[in-house]
Amino acid sequence: MPVITMREALNQALDEEMARDPKVFLMGEEVGEYQGAYKVSQGLLQKFGAQRVVDTPITELSFAGVGVGAAMIGLRPVIEMMTFNFCILALDQIFNGAAKLRLMSGGQYHIPIVFRGPNGPAHMLSAQHSTATENWFCNVPGLKVVSPSTPADAKGLLKAAIRDDDPVIFLESELMYANTGEVPDPAAGDFVIPLGKADVKRVGKDVTILCWSKAVFHALGAAAELAKDGIEAEVVDLRTLRPLDVETIYRSVRKTHRVVTVEEGSPYAGIGAELAYRIQHDLFDELDAPVVRVTALDVPMPYAENLENLVLPTPRDVAAAARAVLYRS
């Protein structure tokens, strides 16, 4: 299989879906003439024209609203947020519009819209550009939330998100756009990964590590370190945060009986808290230790690199948590 970057994989997904369905269009800041702030939309303006690759003013509320309206009349907009830190300005359209219109219209409207772009901490971007927002969106019924970790997952899941008839929040990572990985060749056929399916990135029997996005690489790094001590960690990449693939999560927990969750968001009301609740509620008798959460510190992100490194979780933190649930710390 070809090895490409996550940026290229996302571009392939957009290109293929826009060619497949004329109702799909891309809208956002700098997506056209500038080829995308992170070059995800490179070449799409030249191929599909300005009516389907639409540059917008710097006004998230307005172009999110245009997207919701377009979805209401049957189009399939993909709305790029230059960073999900800026989506705060568009939350009314996402939370009160996209997420609720299907219910409030009695099913008369479907809202097939994707909001996508970089989420979470990048590198030395300070507090206003470093928020991990996934728990916000997971708290809103009516939204689906996706956060891939590999180029193949990014392509397959974005194609599924664009085809979905409900609003999807598609959270990428600025630091992962240049990551490379194998992705099926487009000539080999349509490559789509269904939403709501987790993926076991590493098989193990001693402890389950639940993670997504950049945290997958913290978990894999920790698993490699733990293996030196004979500890076999199973790394489960959730990929879709809402809806959760409970079946895959529980199958792993029943095998290992110990769980660590890893996320780059703040601990208070994080995704790990929901995972820990569900596991202890449904699988209490399977657990041989309490669930341990690894998160960022509960502070606004500092700018200085040394302080940022103190705030964010590391593979060492994940390995320490795994040893703790194994009573080997």
Predicted pLDDT at 54: 98
Q: Is residue 318 part of a domain?
A: yes
Domain identity same for 89 and 127: yes
Task: Round the average pLDDT of the chain to a whole number and report it.
Answer: 97
Sort strands 76-80 and 114-118 into parallel, antiparallel or unpaired: parallel
Last residue of a domain, one of 188, 218, 239: 188
Predicted pLDDT at 301: 95
Domain identity same for 176 and 218: no
Instruction: Write out the residue range of the structural domain in which residue 208 sits.
Output: 199-325
Predicted pLDDT at 329: 78
Catalytic entry in 8, 60, 174, 234: 60
Q: Is 118 helix (H, G, I), strand (E, B) or coil?
A: strand
Query: Cis link prior to 121 (omega < 30° from 0)?
Result: no
For 46, other C-beta atoms within 10 Å of its C-beta total: 10
For every residue of 270-328, DSSP letters joined together read -HHHHHHHHHHHHSGGG-SS--EEE---SSPPPSSHHHHHHHS--HHHHHHHHHHHTT-
Domain identity same for 221 and 130: no
Q: Is residue 291 part of a domain?
A: yes
Question: Cβ distance 195 to 160 under 8 Å?
Answer: yes
Predicted pLDDT at 65: 98
Nearest CA-CA partner of 208 in 107, 115, 295, 293? 293
Predicted pLDDT at 98: 98
Q: Is residue 194 part of a domain?
A: no
**Averaged pLDDT, groups of 10, the chain, 329 residues long:** 97 98 98 96 98 97 98 98 94 97 96 97 92 96 98 98 98 96 94 98 98 98 98 98 98 98 96 98 98 97 95 98 95
Number of domains in the chain: 2
Nearest CA-CA partner of 160 in 188, 185, 193? 193
Q: Model pTM?
A: 0.96
- Tell me the pLDDT tens digit for each residue of 26-38: 999 999 999 999 9
Phi, psi dihedral angles at 18 (to 5 degrees): -70, -35
CATH, residue 152: 3.40.50.970
Domain identity same for 171 and 245: no
Nearest CA-CA partner of 82 in 50, 49, 58? 58
Predicted pLDDT at 154: 98
Catalytic entry in 16, 129, 134, 264: 129
Q: Is residue 23 part of a domain?
A: yes
Q: Is residue 193 part of a domain?
A: no
Question: Would you call 129 a catalytic residue per the annotation?
Answer: yes
| Side-chain-facing half-sphere of 10: CA atoms under 13 Å | 31
- Tell me the pLDDT tens digit for each residue of 289-323: 999 999 999 999 999 999 999 999 999 999 999 99
Question: Would you call 305 a catalytic residue per the annotation?
Answer: no
Nearest CA-CA partner of 134 in 8, 227, 264? 264
For residues 168 and 155, what is the distance between their CA atoms, to the nearest angstrom? 14
Question: Cβ distance 211 to 120 under 8 Å?
Answer: no
CATH, residue 258: 3.40.50.920
What is residue 80's DSSP assignment? Answer: E
For residues 310 and 322, what is the distance between their CA atoms, to the nearest angstrom? 19
